[in-house]
Each structure stands twice: as C-alpha cells, then as structure tokens.
Amino acid sequence: DVQLQASGGGLVQAGRSLRLSCATSGFTDDDYAITWFRQAPGKEREGVSSIFKSLGTTYYADFVKGRFTISSENGKNTVYLQMNSLRPEDTAVYYCAAVLSPRHLGSGWRIRRAYDYWGQGTQVTVSS
C-alpha cells in the first residue's frame, strides 16, 4: 500500500528558505510521479511542482519557477521541495501526492483528481 508522509514546514521570514520532505513507501517500481500541492485559506488547492520518477522529468508552476526545486533521493525514497526566497503569498498547507503510471498526465500534472494517494499536509507560514 502506497503511503506518503510530508514534513518540514514551519514559520519563516520572507526571503528565507525551507525544505519540505515527502517520505514514500509501498511503490513496486519507479513508474510514478510525486507532486507537491498547496492550499491557502479560502483558496483552491493548487499544484506547485512535480517529479516523474522514471522519466526524471520535473514541472513547476510559474509562481515558483526559479525559487523552488524538486528533487528525489532514491536510496531514501524521499522527494524534497527546496523553497528559497519565500514570500508571504507562499503561506499554505503543503501536501505531497502520488499517481502511478503518470505518462498520461504530461502537462496535466496539476489535475488534483488524477492523484490516488495523498500525504497529510505540512504548514508553511511566511511572515513579512
């Protein structure tokens, strides 16, 4: 059974950095994608960044390009989201999610209903 556990959130000042981790288990091969979503109060949950493990492909939402980096560490089955130059508008609960056989997604990596597995959220708060 696939399980995801997000961690690493916290309270930081604008301009600082945080690294989120998504520990995964239960995958039988590398044919899956891990995507970070976030949800701010009163807003829809939105896709932030995705990594397609077997393809080595990464995607970023425009609002984080150049600031956030997604990566994976195979030996630890963990996906990271390095968040630099944080802004108050990055404040949200961040979730990691997984989908198997993601080739069919392509540019649709931000479609929430495509994801079968979700971790619990981790709160990121950026003060101005």
What does the block give as tokens for 72? Answer: 């994976």
pLDDT for the residue numbered 31 = 93
Inform me whether the pLDDT recorded for 55 exceeds 90: no
Cβ-in-10-Å burial (0-12, 13-18, 19+) of 47 comes to: buried
Phi, psi dihedral angles at 74 (to 5 degrees): -60, -45
pLDDT for the residue numbered 80 = 98
What does the block give as tokens for 13? Answer: 């000042």
Which residues have CB under 8 Å from 47's CB, separation 6+? 35, 36, 37, 59, 61, 109, 110, 111, 112
pLDDT tens-digit readout, 1-26: 999 999 999 999 999 999 999 999 99
pLDDT for the residue numbered 50 = 97
